[in-house]
Amino acid sequence: EPGPLGHGRRWWLAHQLGAVLVAAFANSPLIDRLPTGWLSARQLMWAEIGAARAGAPPPHEEPRSAWARHVLDSPVMCVRQDGGPWEVPEGLTFREWTRGQGSRPPTRADLDYHLTTLFPPVRPRGHLELRMIDAQPGEDGWIVPLAVTAALFDDPQAAETAYRCVKPLAERALNLPAPHNPLWSDAARLGLADPELREVAAACFAAALDALPRLGAGTGVTDAVAGYLERYVARGRCPADDLLDALPGTPAAPAGSGPDAQGRKDIPS
State pLDDT tens for residues 137-175. 999 999 999 999 999 999 999 999 999 999 999 999 999
Are 253 and 35 in contact by the 8 Å Cβ rule? The answer is: yes
- 134 compared with 251, residue with greater pLDDT: 134
Secondary structure percentages of the chain, helix, strand, coil, to 5: 50, 5, 40
Q: How confident is the model at residue 63 (pLDDT cuts 50, 70, 90)?
A: very high
Asked whether the beta carbons of 205 and 17 are under 8 A apart, the reply is no
Which among 220, 201, 194, 199 has a CA at the least distance from the CA of 148?
Answer: 201
Instruction: Please give the helix or strand (H or E) that residue 262 lies within, else none.
Output: none
Asked if the model's pLDDT at residue 263 lies above 50, the reply is no
Phi, psi at residue 100, to the nearest 5°?
105, -10
